[in-house]
């Protein structure tokens, strides 16, 4: 959930690190810091706050030196304070460490190190790393050997970088269960949690496997396995579309990502039909199919479940990834597990997939970010191809996931091409739905911005869209919201509906329309303010969000777009930053 970056080369390091930190902020943005080696000194600057604020506050831009590391934090151990921000150092102040992940045995290590005389200054789990390294270096080991020696003592997940006065021209990095990728542009070298961090400079990358170590030094990069044996690696080229991440003329990434969905859909549809047919066959042949995911990805999976049942006549279950392990007893080699994750690095999903692999299940992943941990763990991977999603809130990736499930379900009945053609036609409808509703959504967001609770209801294939709309609202505007199957409203939640309570009713003119509308009437009778998301007008609605008439299995895609936009405008009207909601991060790499 944190972002780390290192640079070693011939250019001034700090401006590169600071720019990279801004690109990594989607991974965490409660504090940030840098460490720079220059003229025999190790300079560490860090603070709580966003990268731009810290740069201004600490006048970081002009710090000299050609070797530096940086960190942007999402707090796990220790409050959001200046002392807990990374980099962390040892007692002598000669090494600096930035870390992404959690050292699970940090308490025990901290006690041992304290007994041995080490003095800790922060509350973080990370700080054990520089202190452990300090002892190894005192014993005469090189920095890379010290890293190799301490790695087996660390339990949990990590990717960390070290810069030290003891070996001032170098940065050492290693990882276990957290991403780390090296960027090559000789004689300049980069290392980061995400290639996006150094994307303006190079798209030539080399990845590290678990427990491998990388050494960046003047004019060279070297890799070692856990035993210190030298490794030979080939660089590969990243797709340039992955490296573009400008807001363009938009005020926020979230708005840009909502607006570019028509184009994204076209990119997503470009899939290999043969792969889809093979996967569809595996799904049909399996004894059971389980889809696992978190957050929005899980809601996309719930739509997928209806599509599998409706089109492929294949029942499957959707299990929240954080709960997957508790069902692992029934997973076996005749099970297909489909893992859905935009980032490909959500810890709960990764853990679930590991449990599935241990039970010999076949694992298929639906991922956006290329070269992720989840991709490495999967037998087959489907890429969303929707490009980097920078806002914490998932929007375009959600739409792409829906498209993938649509294609997969049609592949089950040998109709991949038919599905691809229908999706192609849909892209213009997505643009239309935005044009039609923009002003009404802005009006609604102004009128409803002070409401404390929203309810979202829908039925059948659209139910998960209600949940997705509610999640988005909570996440970026901090308004309490619940999404539920419309039929459930009367089993408890109706007690909370009173005069003026906003109830968003997703009721396209499909097989769910009449019953959903009846539930809307029940809410309206109690005074609710009904926002109808439908292609069919009704007197029941106090506000009508008009969607186009489409094939009934495609309604989730046209209905979700205005709900994302409503959440966006509500966040703006409440003065919230929709790209960086409080307490959250884009990649949730902790359990
Ligand atoms: O990267 P993933 O798809 O695995 O992430 C899962 C959730 O953390 C994510 O969808 C989260 O719920 C979003 N921020 C919602 O907008």
Average pLDDT, the chain: 94
For residue 343, the ligand 1 atom closest to its alpha carbon is: 1
Out of 351, 583, 588, give the residue to mutate to test ligand 1, the one with the largest number of ligand atoms within 8 Å of its CB.
588
pTM equals: 0.88
**Of 2, 8, 386, 576, catalytic:** 2
Average pLDDT, stretch 427-447?
Answer: 94
**Confidence tier at 367 by pLDDT (50, 70, 90):** very high
Distance 170 CA to ligand 1 centre (A): 35
Whole-number pLDDT of residue 434: 93
**Confidence tier at 583 by pLDDT (50, 70, 90):** confident
Average pLDDT, stretch 247-262?
Answer: 93
Residue 20 tokens, joined: 């990279």
Distance 479 CA to ligand 1 centre (A): 18
Average pLDDT, stretch 410-434?
Answer: 95
Out of 74, 257, 293, 295, give the residue to mutate to test ligand 1, the one with the largest number of ligand atoms within 8 Å of its CB.
295
Distance 460 CA to ligand 1 centre (A): 22
**Of 256, 396, 422, 586, catalytic:** 586
Whole-number pLDDT of residue 242: 65
Residue 523 tokens, joined: 């809410």
Distance 392 CA to ligand 1 centre (A): 8
Q: Among candidates 271, 290, 277, which has minimal Cα distance to 382?
A: 271
pLDDT (tens digit, 9 = 90+) per residue, 13-69?
999 999 999 999 888 889 999 999 988 899 999 999 888 888 887 776 777 889 999
CATH architecture assigned to 253-573: 3-Layer(aba) Sandwich (3.40)
Whether omega before 187 lies within 30 degrees of 0, making that bond cis, reads yes
For ligand 1, atom 9, name the residue with the nearest CA: 295
Annotated catalytic residue 38:
no
For residue 293, the ligand 1 atom closest to its alpha carbon is: 4
3-242 belongs to CATH 3.60.20.10:
yes
Out of 28, 292, 297, 338, give the residue to mutate to test ligand 1, the one with the largest number of ligand atoms within 8 Å of its CB.
297
Whole-angstrom Cα distance, residue 450 to residue 375?
Answer: 43
Contact predicate 344/373, CB 8 Å: yes
Average pLDDT, stretch 547-551?
Answer: 96
Whole-angstrom Cα distance, residue 542 to residue 525?
Answer: 13
Residues in a beta bridge with 342 = none
Distance 367 CA to ligand 1 centre (A): 12
Whole-angstrom Cα distance, residue 473 to residue 440?
Answer: 17
Whole-angstrom Cα distance, residue 545 to residue 447?
Answer: 15
Whole-number pLDDT of residue 492: 93
For residue 584, the ligand 1 atom closest to its alpha carbon is: 14
Residues in a beta bridge with 162 = 97, 172
Domain ranges, ordered by start, for the chain: 3-242, 253-573
Percent share of the chain, pLDDT over 70 = 99
**Confidence tier at 243 by pLDDT (50, 70, 90):** low
Q: Which residues are within 8 A (CB) of 524 and not within 5 positions of it... i.e. 6 or more apart? A: 503, 530, 540
Distance 343 CA to ligand 1 centre (A): 8
Q: Among candidates 116, 113, 190, 105, which has minimal Cα distance to 154?
A: 105
Q: What's the distance, Cα to Cα, between the start and end of the chain in Å? A: 11
Annotated catalytic residue 586:
yes
Whole-number pLDDT of residue 51: 87
**Confidence tier at 281 by pLDDT (50, 70, 90):** very high
Average pLDDT, stretch 107-136?
Answer: 96
Distance 413 CA to ligand 1 centre (A): 30
CB-defined site of ligand 1, < 6 Å: 294-297, 341-343, 346, 349, 392-394, 471-472, 475, 588
3-state class of 3 per DSSP?
strand
For ligand 1, atom 8, name the residue with the nearest CA: 295
**Confidence tier at 1 by pLDDT (50, 70, 90):** confident
What does each C-alpha distance from 384 to 242, 252, 400, 404 come to in angstroms?
12, 22, 6, 7
For ligand 1, atom 16, name the residue with the nearest CA: 393
* Residue 247 reports pLDDT greater than 90: no
Average pLDDT, stretch 233-239?
Answer: 88
Contact predicate 487/506, CB 8 Å: no
Residues in a beta bridge with 6 = 69, 191
Whole-number pLDDT of residue 288: 97
For ligand 1, atom 7, name the residue with the nearest CA: 295
**Confidence tier at 248 by pLDDT (50, 70, 90):** confident
């Amino acid at each position: 959930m944190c972002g780390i970056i290192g640079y070693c080369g011939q250019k001034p390091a700090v401006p590169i690190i600071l720019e990279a930190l801004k690109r990594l902020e989607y991974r965490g943005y409660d504090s940030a810091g840098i460490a720079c080696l220059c003229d025999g000194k190790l300079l560490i600057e860090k603070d709580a706050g966003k990268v731009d604020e810290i740069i201004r506050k600490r006048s970081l831009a002009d710090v000299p030196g050609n070797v530096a590391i940086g960190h942007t934090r999402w707090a796990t151990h220790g409050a959001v304070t200046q002392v807990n921000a990374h980099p962390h150092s040892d007692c002598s102040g000669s090494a600096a460490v930035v870390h992404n992940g959690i050292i699970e045995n940090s308490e025990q290590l901290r006690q041992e190190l304290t007994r041995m005389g080490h003095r800790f200054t922060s509350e973080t789990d990370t700080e054990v790393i520089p202190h452990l390294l300090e002892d190894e270096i005192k014993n005469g080991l090189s920095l890379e050997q010290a890293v190799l020696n301490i790695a087996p003592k660390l339990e949990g997940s990590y990717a960390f970088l070290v810069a030290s006065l003891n070996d001032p021209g170098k940065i050492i990095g290693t990882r276990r269960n957290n991403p780390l990728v090296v960027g090559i542009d000789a004689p300049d070298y980069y290392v980061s949690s995400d290639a996006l961090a150094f994307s303006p400079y190079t798209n030539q990358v080399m990845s590290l496997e678990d427990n491998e170590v990388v050494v960046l030094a003047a004019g060279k990069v070297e890799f070692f396995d856990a035993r210190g044996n030298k490794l030979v690696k080939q660089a590969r080229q990243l797709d340039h579309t992955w490296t573009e991440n400008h807001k363009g003329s938009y005020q926020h990434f979230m708005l840009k990502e909502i607006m570019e969905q028509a184009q994204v859909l076209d990119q997503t549809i470009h899939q290999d039909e043969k792969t889809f047919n093979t996967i569809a066959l595996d799904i049909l042949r399996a004894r059971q199919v389980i889809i696992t995911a978190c957050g929005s990805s899980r809601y996309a999976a719930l739509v997928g479940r209806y599509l599998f049942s409706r089109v492929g006549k294949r029942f499957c279950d959707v299990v929240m990834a954080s709960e997957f392990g508790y069902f692992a007893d029934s997973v076996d080699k005749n099970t297909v597990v489909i893992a859905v994750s935009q980032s490909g690095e959500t810890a709960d999903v990764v853990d679930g997939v590991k449990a599935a692999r241990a039970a010999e299940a076949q694992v298929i992943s639906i991922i956006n970010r290329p070269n992720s941990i989840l991709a490495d763990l999967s037998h087959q991977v489907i890429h969303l191809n929707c490009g980097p999603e920078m806002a914490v809130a998932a929007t375009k990736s959600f739409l792409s996931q829906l498209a993938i499930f649509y294609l997969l379900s049609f592949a089950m009945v040998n109709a991949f091409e038919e599905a691809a053609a229908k999706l192609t036609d849909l892209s213009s409808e997505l643009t239309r739905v935005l044009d039609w509703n923009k002003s009404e959504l802005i009006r609604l967001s102004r009128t409803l911005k002070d409401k404390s609770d929203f309810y979202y209801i829908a039925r059948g294939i659209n139910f998960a869209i209600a949940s997705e709309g509610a999640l988005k609202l909570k996440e970026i505007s901090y308004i309490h919201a619940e999404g539920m199957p419309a039929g459930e409203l009367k089993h408890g939640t109706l007690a909370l509906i009173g005069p003026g309570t906003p109830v968003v009713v997703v009721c396209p003119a499909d097989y769910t329309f009449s019953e959903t509308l009846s539930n809307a009437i029940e809410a309206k009778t109690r005074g609710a303010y009904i926002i109808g998301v439908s292609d069919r007008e009704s007197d029941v609605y106090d506000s009508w969000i008009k969607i186009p008439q489409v094939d009934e299995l495609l309604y989730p895609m046209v209905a979700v777009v205005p709900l994302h936009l409503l959440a966006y405008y509500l966040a703006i009207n409440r003065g919230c930053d929709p790209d960086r909601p409080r307490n959250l991060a884009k990649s949730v790499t902790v359990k």
